[in-house]
Chain A
């Protein structure tokens, strides 16, 4: 069974701190997406990465796809309370056509 492990599972930090969330697997992915989900809503796509080693920046968020396309990280600089939510990675294993979702990281940023 393919599995995407995210770490940490829970993270509570103060406003202004930096953090990194990891998404790891033993499978190789054609692409990997990061979503953020707020309570009572569905996940919303933040970014898609498709090339090994790729780095994408979205304001204070930096996403990296591992060279071997088996892992990814999300780094948030100067976290704000508005960053609070559930962060999900989702990978498309090579040769397949369905995304598998990670185990999730619940982030809480305190003012």
Chain B
């Protein structure tokens, strides 16, 4: 069974479109995250939710809107896509309310977003 699954794996779309990425975890974790990995492989946190509550909201354009319908799901909606949004987006989950120091983050396999 896949622990953290993201869909779609690949997303190719035109500039200006709106798209969503879905994430589900079956680990029973309380906290979920969205990360962005750029072309240089730098991984940067975007958002974090704990039991449907937003707890981390980094400096991200408000075109990005996360939604957590329940603690096992965290979706990411992106409006008016721009060229600079091209990246790999990773969903992750961990146990505990905050990022507890010894708790691992379990990552999905990423969604490769390409803007034409």
Residue of B56, B99, B108 near A42 (CB, 8 A) is B108
Question: Are A42's CB and B109's CB within 8 A?
Answer: yes
A73-111 vs B, Cβ < 8 Å mask (1 yes, 0 no): 000000000000010101010000111110110100000
* Cα-based distance from A33 to B102 in the complex (angstroms): 8
Interface residues of B in 71-116 (CB under 8 A from A): 90, 92, 98-99, 101-102, 104-110
Report B-chain residues with C-beta under 8 Å of the C-beta of A106: 41
User: Smallest Cβ distance from A32 to chain B, in angstroms?
Assistant: 9
Question: Are A45's CB and B98's CB within 8 A?
Answer: no
Report A-chain residues with C-beta under 8 Å of the C-beta of B42: 101, 103-104
Interface residues of B in 35-75 (CB under 8 A from A): 40-45, 48, 55-56
Please judge, given known A-B contacts A42-B92, A48-B102, A48-B104, whether A98 and B110 are in contact too, CB under 8 Å. Answer: no
Say whether A27 faces chain B, with CB atoms less than 8 Å apart.
Answer: no
* Cα-based distance from A50 to B100 in the complex (angstroms): 11
User: Smallest Cβ distance from A46 to chain B, in angstroms?
Assistant: 9
Interface size class of A (residues with CB under 8 A): 20 to 34
Say whether B21 faces chain A, with CB atoms less than 8 Å apart.
Answer: no
Question: Are A104's CB and B41's CB within 8 A?
Answer: yes
Question: Are B45's CB and A99's CB within 8 A?
Answer: yes
Q: Secondary structure of the A side of the interface?
A: strand
Say whether B32 faces chain A, with CB atoms less than 8 Å apart.
Answer: no
* Cα-based distance from A37 to B110 in the complex (angstroms): 11
Please judge, given known A-B contacts A98-B56, A104-B41, A106-B41, whether A44 and B101 are in contact too, CB under 8 Å. Answer: no
Q: Which residues of A contact B (CB under 8 A)?
A: 30-31, 33, 37, 40-45, 48, 50, 86, 88, 90, 92, 97-101, 103-104, 106
Q: Which residues of B contact A (CB under 8 A)?
A: 4, 40-45, 48, 55-56, 90, 92, 98-99, 101-102, 104-110
